[in-house]
Amino acid sequence: DDSFTLADVLGKQSYGLAFIEPVPGAYQWQKFYDANGTAGMERNEVESDWVSAAEDYSAKEDILAGYLLGRFDNSVLRVIGGVRVERTRNEFMANSLTVNEDLETLEITPVQVKRDYTDWLPSLNVRFEPAQNVILRAGAYRSVMRPNLSDIAPRFVVEENEDGEREGSFGNPDLQPYRSWNFDLTGEYYFARNAVIQGGFFYKTIDNFIVEGQFEGTEDDPFVFNGIEVLEGTVPINGEKATVKGFEFAYQQSLDFLPGLLSGLLVNVNYTYTDAEGRLADGDMTNGRKIPLVSSSKHTLNGVLGYEKGPVSLRLSGAYRSGYLDEIGSDADEDRYVKNHFQLDMTAKYQITDNVQLVGELVNILDEPYTAYQRYEGRDRLLQYEEYGLTAKFGVRASF
């Protein structure tokens, strides 16, 4: 209808880093639709049915489990061991879609996927107390982590822009749960009242670890998954094997031995080093290359300086996380990374009465940004940059 123009739905955008106006606004679109309904609009039968049927699916998961547990306990030693067995059954219903050559009709074929598997999961945990203020712990166990049902359902979502370029997000019915052997050894030393030093080592081996792959094609050579062609596709996939190893250290103490007002101080610091590396499968979507595990930072450090005295409670906390792999692509140049991040927060509470408390909170005091990038030909290529600013919250909390 020639009576409709962009001016009928112009509004504002709320993205804070850049102001690009005028743009269509959600409120203005809703107002226009409420006033005009579907008058002058023609339904695209194929496109509408495609979107509806592609996203429709049902999922059912049944887990039958049993376990056998044994325990030995005396004054200094505790041993707990056993085995758990889990039988998992999945059933999915979804749709397979084909657009006929005339581009005006759509064939929808129901698809059913069933699968089942059994896992035996032994475990052994030991607690040893060689002295009154020292505790040693060791553990070894087998674990399984199942994929999200939405990740393994044979469903997909495809979006197409005005230039005909299509992006798709797919479920993967061939996705396997990942299974791991886990080993850890920790020690705790309670060297004073309200004070502890902890340290430990951990190691695990993982089969079929799960990552979300981002894949790109071209107009001449599109990315194809389950017969559907898109320019860009997102698919959860299994890697082959991965190892995770590292150590952790923590120190926590209430400094109540200090004189006067200083006796309210408390300190909490913990650090973890993690070396997590896996190998992708060598197949149609990925080459068999090594990658750091997704979302795994080598260094994480958290610290809290607090104060507790009478009605006053204060916390200044800092959290550091080194850069990490966020998403994998079809090759290393297309992998997405997130840069290291440090955030400083503060909370304050004041107890006016037994039932009323003043509360204040400052989040992201240093205005730390979020930055994502690709390592393209030895250089960082910016993909995303977000600033959130300082958030301040103040209020009164009452209980009755």
pLDDT value of position 346: 97
| pLDDT mean over 137-158 | 88
pLDDT at position 39: 62
pLDDT at 89 over 90: yes
Kindly report, residue by residue over 206-230, the tens digit of the pLDDT.
Answer: 999 888 877 777 777 777 776 677 7
Residue 197, C-beta contacts closer than 8 angstroms, at least 6 positions apart:
188, 189, 191, 249, 250, 251
Percent of the chain with pLDDT over 70: 87
Is the predicted pLDDT of residue 369 greater than 90, yes or no?
A: yes
Please tell me the predicted confidence (pLDDT) of residue 282.
66
Residue with tokens 């730390």: 368
Task: Detail the DSSP E strand segments found in 193-323.
Answer: 195-207, 210-216, 223-225, 228-230, 232-254, 265-280, 290-292, 299-309, 312-321
**CATH, domain 46-398, list 2.40.37.20, 2.40.170.20, 3.40.1580.10, 3.40.50.2000:** 2.40.170.20
How far apart, in whole angstroms, are the C-alpha atoms of residue 5 and residue 8?
Answer: 6
Place 377 in a pLDDT band, splitting at 50, 70 and 90. confident
pTM value > 0.85: no
Closest CA to 328 of 378, 282, 280, 296: 280
C-alpha–C-alpha distance, residues 384 and 352, integer Å: 45
Length of the chain: 400
Domain with CATH 2.40.170.20 in the chain: 46-398
Residue 186 near residue 198 (C-beta atoms within 8 A): yes
What pLDDT is stored for residue 3 in this prediction?
67
Q: Stretch 111-136: mean pLDDT, rounded?
A: 94
Q: Which of 34-38, 81-85, 103-107 has the lowest mean pLDDT?
A: 103-107
Q: Which residues pair with 187 in a beta bridge?
A: 136, 199
| pLDDT, tens digit, 9 for 90 and up, residues 6-17 | 777 777 765 555
pLDDT in tens, 51-63: 677 778 888 999 9
Q: Which residue has the higher pLDDT, 20 or 182?
A: 182
Per-residue pLDDT at 33: 74
Supply the DSSP string of 125-180, one letter for each residue: EEEEEEETTEEEEEEEEEEEEPPPHHHHSS-EEEEE-TTS-EEEEE--TTPPPEEE
Q: How does the average pLDDT of the chain come out, rounded?
A: 86
Structure tokens that stand for 272 in this block: 């973890």
Pairing verdict, β 195-207 and 336-338: unpaired
CB neighbours of 40 closer than 8 A, spacing ≥ 6? 1, 3, 4
Extract the tokens encoding 130.
């060689």
Residue in this structure with the two tokens 């005396």, named with its chain if needed: 74
pLDDT in tens, 330-339: 778 888 999 9
Is residue 217 within 8 Å of 235, Cβ to Cβ?
Answer: no
The stretch 231-236 carries a mean pLDDT of 81
Cis peptide before 173 (omega within 30 of 0): no
Q: Residue 313: pLDDT above 90?
A: yes
